[in-house]
Amino acid sequence: MWDLAFTPDAENKKYGDQLDTSRGVVVFIGERADPASWFAVNRACRRFAPQASVLGPKCSFVNQPVAAASFRPDRAAFVGMPGRQPDIVMRVGHGVELPMSLPRPADAVIDA
């Protein structure tokens, strides 16, 4: 069933349509493929998304372009930063207001 519902062509069309209707795309790029760079990229994203939302636009992750490590060098070159490490892709634009989700308590997600 999965292969019938989620074909490469259908997924490509879906994400293409989403990007076509977005105001912009933000790519968070690390210096290297290592934990320190991953944390730096995560911090930048965690600062960007709430501030963007305060200013009006909505943000949505579109990580499929960088999900496979083998595609990352081409994506980095495409955005003008060859040799770097694109880790997070977000689309930004205006959308419908959705209910906020509350964070789960730490003890619900951390096994002690």
What does the domain layout of the chain look like in residue ranges?
21-95
**Residues found in the chain:** 112
Cβ proximity of 104 and 36 under 8 Å: no
Q: Domain 21-95 is of which CATH architecture? A: 3-Layer(aba) Sandwich (3.40)
Which percentage of the chain shows pLDDT scores above 90? Answer: 13
Which residues are paired to 24 by β-bridges? 92
Pairing of strands 58-61, 24-30: unpaired
Whether 14 has a pLDDT exceeding 80, the answer reads yes
* pTM tops 0.75: no
The whole-number pLDDT of residue 32 equals 86
The whole-number pLDDT of residue 101 equals 81
| Separation between Cα atoms, residue 98 and residue 76, nearest integer Å | 32
Whether 13 has a pLDDT exceeding 80, the answer reads yes
CA distances from 109 to 39, 89, 102 (A): 19, 25, 14
Whether 61 has a pLDDT exceeding 70, the answer reads yes
**pLDDT tens-digit readout, 79-102:** 898 888 888 989 998 877 778 788
The whole-number pLDDT of residue 40 equals 94
